Amino acid sequence: MRILLIEDEKRLSETIKKGLAESGFAVDQAFDGEEGLYLGQSETYDVIILDLMLPKLDGITVCKKLRDKKIAVPILMLTAKAQVENRVTGLDAGADDYLTKPFEFVELKARINALLRRNYRQTESAIVIDTLEIDPVKRIVTRGDKPITLTPKEFSILEYLARNQDKPVTRTQITEHTWDYNFDSFSNVVDVFIATLRKKIDGGHKNKLIHTVHGVGYVMSAKK
Ligand code: CA
């Protein structure tokens, strides 16, 4: 899953990015409102984390402009404690949720997961496909109660496929949702990751969950 982080406090931005990257998220950073608005309009994101007080354009304006452009990506607004009225304005401007600074990282991850779940119309916090269970907050994957160890990138690709259960996705969609801005989209790196995931997820299991869709890409499904 790919996140746009619009936050002008460099140290906070780096801390959030590091934590999210360790959890398998691809993160693009913007350090002012204009840059954030530009990236939010031109790239594909699963969640936008948007600070309220920003140079050049404030968070409320960025949020409004994105919604005016019909960009429906879930937006999590970051506010300082004293900005209660702004929080309400943020929700009015089209933000989906807000988090008050300072916050625990685990709280941020839980909010992000709630927004992803809502966006992909999932009701449970864990994603279950056949005997495979994915916990997106704790980043734990098990198949038939046996834990599976994945790298952050492998986890990210698996999560994207699983959130789109039974829906074929293209290689481009996979890269757009799991790699950041600096990714070279001409490589066949997706296929390499899928081959590894197949070994880890489907190896030794009769019911395969990762399938190739010829001419399209891949689909994750319990149906054969
Ligand atoms: Ca700020």
Q: Indicate the fold that domain 2-119 takes in CATH.
A: Rossmann fold (3.40.50)
What pTM was computed for the model?
Answer: 0.85
pLDDT at 76: 96
β-strand partners of 163: none
Ligand 1: centre distance to CA 212 (Å): 44
How many helices (H) and strands (E) the chain has is answered by 8, 12
More confident position, 33 or 24:
33
pLDDT in the model for residue 187:
65
Write the pLDDT tens digit of every residue in 113-169: 999 988 877 777 789 999 999 998 888 999 998 999 999 999 999 999 999 999 999
> What's the average model confidence in pLDDT over 14-30?
94
Give the C-alpha separation, 173 to 44, whole Å: 9
| 127-220: CATH architecture | Orthogonal Bundle (1.10)
CA of 54 to the centre of ligand 1 (A): 5
Confidence at residue 224, expressed as pLDDT on a 0 to 100 scale: 66
Distance 65 CA to ligand 1 centre (A): 18
CA dist list (Å): 105 to 94, 137, 195: 24, 11, 32
- The pair of structure tokens assigned to 199 is 């070994």
**39 with 4: CB under 8 angstroms?**
yes
126 in Cβ contact with 133 (< 8 Å) = yes
Q: Is the pLDDT of residue 62 over 80?
A: yes
For 96-100, which contacts have Cβ atoms below 8 Å and span 24 or more sequence positions? none
pLDDT of residue 186: 61
Cα of 103 vs centre of ligand 1, distance in Å, is 14
Alpha carbon of 74 to ligand 1 centroid (Å): 19
Residues forming CATH 1.10.10.10 domain(s) in the chain: 127-220
pLDDT for the residue numbered 211: 97
DSSP secondary structure string for all residues of 173-197: HHHHHHS-TT--TTS-HHHHHHHHH
pLDDT reading at 33 higher than 70: yes
User: Which distant-in-sequence residues (6+ apart) come within 8 Å of 186 by Cβ?
Assistant: none
Which candidate, 154, 98, 105, 162, places its Cα nearest to that of 132?
162
Where in the sequence of the chain do the CATH 3.40.50.2300 domains occur? 2-119
Confidence of residue 82 (pLDDT cuts 50, 70, 90): low
> For residue 125, what are its two tokens?
């916090």
